[in-house]
Structures are given as structure tokens and as C-alpha cells.
Amino acid sequence: MKMKKYTADTMPEAMKLIRKELGEEAVILSSKAVYSKGFLGLFKKKSIEVLAGMDSMESPAPILEKPTIQQVQENPNSIAIKKELEDLKQMVKSIGRQKPNRTYPDELEALIHHLKEQELAEELITSISDELFVHMKKNEDHISIEMQQKLAKDYLKSQLETFPFGGISYNKKYINVLGPTGVGKTTTIAKMAARAVLEKKKKVGFITTDTYRIAAIEQLKTYAGLLQAPIEIVYNEQDLQQAMQKFEALDVVFIDTAGRNYKEVKFVEDLQELIDLKENTETFLVLSSTSKQRDMEVIIEQFKEFPIEKFIFTKVDETNSIGSIINLMVKYKKGLAYYTDGQEVPEDIMGTSLDELLNLFFKGDSL
């Protein structure tokens, strides 16, 4: 086997050198990080040292050459080795497609660590880190933590500023609240309704389609009683139309949809058949900030046919990381209506702005 050692700043750069000299059939035998003094000894510079090789049996044999007895006997082993080399080759190609693991100055470590702890998306962390690094180079390799936070906030603001922020607009009568079971949807609706009554002096009513959980109906009835608001339970589209007629004189009507496992397509389709309010409806999707981001993405994908304008994130007080809020807003281009941080009605709900979200993300002076 032909072997050679390569040194480069990143693994993708090393891959380019290896492919150029050894071709696509090359395999990685080992790799490690090596460090050397940077400019004036201020920073350690990280490089990647890779040992690569190319098996000679991958070279094509002359067409007219007849195989020897020894070659025929080795054939089974050759097949196994070739398969292993093919697997390694695919691994090399996969590594080449990955984004480089850039090395940044120690001065940026605290902020980068915070971004990772908040579970911000890797591509956002990389973009922010690159911005900070460029700024350092333009300003004699020094940047205060305050400036780091400012630049990081400015970058995130540029990604989020086109999305709507804030709670109910009160431009539409029906507030359609979607969400899976267990996210605190009914309590969140009660908080929204209580604010509409106490702060905006609105006459409100409730419609619930959650006929699967008796506890949820009783919970909403309790809140409706406290707010002296009417409530209707609907089982089908006809019931819904009748409820809307009864509530014609009200200012705002909150629709509590059934809390189901919306990973099941059938439940989403059932909901689509029941709820078809496009002209005079604001639609919010409630998600729990304690859920895994991948699980939330599955829910969002299932609701993609609904005209969701903004997210509502619950249980912010029960998690140490809120990067998924930003990640999902950026990925799905949706705004943020509220986040909730407790069970008290109506206190523990925040109609947030972009600046408030970023302040929450960076937690003030925690860095």
C-alpha cells in the first residue's frame, strides 16, 4: 500500500490534497490534531495531520494478463479487503462533505461555549464565530466579551428581524391554537384569554374540539367560569358553525384543538376537516421548549398545511437551553408570539419582542 502523511488547517482541506495526489480510491488510516505557535506566539494554531493510503490492488491489471494460481487463491480475501476499502472510501467522501471544524482564538471560547450550551444550530454558531474572528483581525486581535455579545446579537437579529413578534394582534376574531398533547396548550389559552379580558377589556369565548380528554374540557370550563366567558364543546363541523353563530357578538374566540399525537397523519387530517377558518383567524402552534428539536420539527412538518403565523413556546422555566426556539424560527421562517415560564394564570406568559428573546438567550451578564 502506498502511504503518505498530509498536514492541513482542516479535514476538508486535507481531503482535497489526498484526492489530488492519491485519487478517489484513497483511504484514511489515521488522523490527529497538531498544534503550533501562532503569530507572535499569541495563539496556538491547530492543524490536522492525516495519514492516507491507496491499496495497490485497486490499480487495474493489464487486460491480456492471465491470472496466476496465487491470484486466484487470494481472490476471496481480495473481495473482502476491497469491500472494506470501499466502505472506508465512502467514509472519506462523507467526511469531505462535512463542514470544517474551524479553530478559533481562546478569547472566543466562552461565547462559543455558551452558544453550544444553548443548543444553537451548528451553522449559526459557525457564522457567528466567523464574524467575531474577522472582527478580531480588523481590530488587532482583541475583542471584549461585551463586543462579542453585541456582534452575536446583531447577527442573530439579522436572521430573525423579518419574522413577526408579539402576541395576539386583535385584528381577527378567532384564535386557533394548535399543539400536541402535553405541551400546556389549554393553560396557555387561558393565559391569553385572561390577558385579553384584563388588559384589552375584550369579550371572549371558548370553543374546544378536545373531546378526547375529559380533564382538558373541565380545565377549560374552570377558566371560562373565572373569566365569565361562554364555552362550547364541538364534535363536528356543524357544531363548530353553530358555536360561531352563538359567539357572533364576542370580540375574541379561542379555539382549543384536541391534544393528540400529531405525529400520526390521521389526527392532522381530522383536524383539517374540522377547522377551516382562513379569513378571520390567527393560528398559533404551541410547542414545549423541553422537547427535543427533532421531535418538534416532526410536529411542525405535520402542521405545514395550516396557516401558522407564530410559535408559542411553553415551559421555558424548565429548560437550561432555548437555542431550539431560534433554530426553528430560522428554519421554518415563523414568528414568535409568546413564551411561558410557569403555571400561574395569567402572569406566566410573555408576549416577546426580538430584543427580549435575544436578551433571554444571552441571559444578561451570565457570560
User: What residue type is assigned to position 123 of the chain?
Assistant: E
Whole-angstrom Cα distance, residue 363 to residue 365?
6
Whole-angstrom Cα distance, residue 161 to residue 155?
10
Given this model, what pLDDT does residue 113 score?
92
DSSP 58: G
Closest CA to 330 of 157, 160, 161, 167: 160
Asked if residue 341 has pLDDT above 80, the reply is yes
Where do the domains of the chain lie? 2-97, 106-160, 174-362
Which cell is 71 given? 491470484
Q: Check if the beta carbon of residue 336 is closer than 8 Å to that of residue 352.
A: yes
Given this model, what pLDDT does residue 11 score?
73
* pLDDT tens per residue, range 80-121: 566 556 666 555 554 444 444 457 888 889 999 999 999 999
Given this model, what pLDDT does residue 291 score?
92
Given this model, what pLDDT does residue 85 score?
61
Is the peptide bond between 180 and the residue preceding it cis, with omega within 30 degrees of 0? no
245 Cβ partners below 8 Å, 6+ apart?
none
DSSP run (H or E) holding 314: strand 310-314
Given this model, what pLDDT does residue 252 score?
95
What share of the chain in percent tops pLDDT 90?
Answer: 38
Q: What is the DSSP string of 169-202?
A: -SSSSEEEEE--TTS-HHHHHHHHHHHHHHTT--
Instruction: Assign a CATH topology to domain 174-362.
Output: Rossmann fold (3.40.50)
* pLDDT tens per residue, range 29-61: 777 777 665 544 445 566 778 787 776 544 444
* pLDDT tens per residue, range 137-174: 777 667 888 889 999 999 999 999 999 999 998 999 99
